[in-house]
């Protein structure tokens, strides 16, 4: 009996005898195999000071071009991108102000200043506010001191209303910061692409580990926990590990109805991790046991749909044209049309980077032109309500020569990981 066969027997026995133990029992059963996995992040390079200098310089150039005096950013991926600060949002404002010229300013509560400085990765002025003060007045004061109060303040698109309202009450004009923030974040640098590639490599390696260990009777959370455990062992931070089985796969994000793995059932996994903040997003669909003729037919159509999308992703083409190409192909097979089911009920893809989903999307009507450095998911699933669904998802980035995969799509339902 092989080592995994023994582990498998123990795993299933544990599941049968201790049903309340759940996913942790599955992970413990796989620990001898997990120990064989090696950390893939050794030697990975974080984003450094020079790159952050380039980001700020580009943002300031875009501000000048758009006539924006400064950009206000609350905690989240954009704050990490420009300043390195990792912070949670609360009713107490911590924010960065990127001015058209000169060093940025960080506004934070007085008692939080030491902790705010812990992850601050750029030269910046720090201005604090006390509990009885208006933090937006501090922001306005900084802009007045920099002689920028006469120009509109760009608002990063996730900033909350109370901050916008506070700026306006302090006499400032506001506008969208999308031309600046999107203009920077949508175009990934070689250092960013390297971290995204590493995150994807970890996810694919974890998939190979888990695929060989999926067994009849496993619950969705068992498979998910095994994927998370493998991802951590490989050095990634799991972001999500969705597992849909059987009819649940007919709905892109599943249902609340649990469905254990059974012979002949579709298993759809949608998983991703991050490495130093940069994310992967990969979906794989396989059949546990022998695939039916219908399952093979749909799987092959989705695999072709991915290639149609990839071929349509040409430099200078509108992002929405990629979605159009896939829907046209699916309609020729009798799916849809448009967003109708059976067929593709969601966009073909989304942007990805520090956020798992970020602008812009591969969706009908999106006019943003594809350019080198842009990164997208490619996931044109087909969903058949009441039966099953298939989604294959691999991300790609645009280069001077056209699109390039982060992960190679699988070519056969019999070898579904790729």
Kindly indicate the confidence band of residue 147, based on its pLDDT and cuts at 50, 70 and 90: very high
pLDDT given for residue 14 in this prediction? 39
- Cβ atoms of residues 348 and 363 within 8 Å: yes
pLDDT digits (tens, 9 = 90+) for 157-197: 999 999 999 999 999 999 999 999 999 999 999 999 999 99
Whether the bond between 360 and the residue before it is cis, its omega within 30 degrees of 0, is yes
Distances (CA, A) of 30 to 10, 25, 26, 167, 212: 9, 9, 6, 54, 12
Mean pLDDT of 408-417: 97
Bigger pLDDT: 70 vs 25 = 70
Mean pLDDT of 129-142: 98
Mean pLDDT of 292-307: 98
Whether the bond between 338 and the residue before it is cis, its omega within 30 degrees of 0, is no
pLDDT given for residue 86 in this prediction? 97
What are the two backbone dihedrals, phi and then psi, of residue 222, each rounded to the nearest 5 degrees?
-65, -45
pLDDT at 290 over 50: yes
pLDDT at 120 over 90: yes
Kindly indicate the confidence band of residue 30, based on its pLDDT and cuts at 50, 70 and 90: confident
Record the pTM.
Answer: 0.93
Percent of the chain at pLDDT exceeding 70: 95
pLDDT at 19 over 50: no
Compute the mean pLDDT over every residue in the chain, rounded to the nearest whole number.
94
pLDDT digits (tens, 9 = 90+) for 40-60: 999 999 999 999 999 999 999
The number of beta carbons lying within 10 Å of the beta carbon of residue 106 is 25
pLDDT given for residue 408 in this prediction? 97
pLDDT digits (tens, 9 = 90+) for 202-238: 999 999 999 999 999 999 999 999 999 999 999 999 9
CA distance 145 to 187: 32
């Amino acid at each position: 009996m092989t080592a995994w066969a023994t582990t498998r027997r123990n795993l299933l026995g544990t599941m049968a005898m201790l049903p309340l133990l759940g996913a942790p029992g599955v992970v413990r059963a796989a620990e001898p195999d997990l120990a064989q996995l090696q950390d893939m992040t050794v030697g990975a390079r974080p984003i450094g000071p020079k790159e952050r200098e380039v980001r700020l310089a580009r943002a300031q150039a875009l501000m000048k071009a758009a006539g924006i005096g400064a950009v206000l950013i609350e905690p989240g991926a954009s704050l990490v991108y420009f300043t390195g600060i990792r912070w949670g949002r609360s009713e107490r404002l911590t924010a960065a102000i990127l001015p058209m010229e000169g060093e940025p300013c960080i506004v934070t509560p007085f008692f939080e200043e030491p902790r705010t400085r812990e992850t601050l990765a750029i030269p910046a002025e720090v201005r604090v506010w006390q509990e009885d003060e208006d933090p937006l007045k501090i922001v306005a004061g900084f802009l007045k001191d920099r002689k920028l109060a006469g120009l509109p303040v760009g608002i990063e698109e996730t900033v909350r209303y109370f901050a916008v309202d506070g700026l306006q009450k302090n006499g400032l004009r506001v506008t969208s910061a999308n031309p600046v923030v999107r203009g920077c974040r949508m175009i990934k640098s070689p250092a960013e692409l390297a971290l995204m590639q590493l995150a994807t490599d970890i996810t694919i390696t974890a998939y190979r580990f888990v695929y060989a260990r999926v067994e009849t009777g496993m619950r969705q959370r068992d498979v998910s926990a095994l994927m998370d455990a493998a991802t951590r062992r490989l050095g990634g931070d799991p972001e999500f590990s969705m597992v849909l089985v059987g009819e649940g796969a007919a709905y892109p994000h599943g249902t609340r109805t649990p469905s254990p793995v059974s012979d002949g059932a579709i298993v759809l996994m949608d998983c991703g991790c991050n490495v130093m903040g940069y994310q992967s997003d990969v979906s794989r669909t396989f059949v546990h046991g022998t695939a039916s003729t219908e399952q093979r037919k749909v799987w092959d159509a989705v695999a072709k749909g991915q290639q149609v999308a990839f071929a349509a992703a040409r430099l200078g083409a509108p992002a929405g044209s990629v979605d159009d190409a896939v829907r046209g192909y699916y309609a020729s097979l009798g799916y849809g049309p448009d967003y109708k089911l059976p067929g593709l009920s969601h966009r073909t893809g989304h942007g990805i980077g520090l956020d798992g989903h970020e602008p812009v999307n591969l969706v009908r009507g999106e006019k943003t032109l594809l350019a080198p450095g842009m990164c997208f998911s490619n996931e044109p699933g087909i969903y058949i309500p009441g039966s099953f669904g298939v989604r294959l998802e691999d991300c790609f980035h645009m280069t001077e020569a056209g699109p390039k995969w982060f992960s190679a799509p699988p070519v056969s339902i019999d070898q579904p990981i790729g």
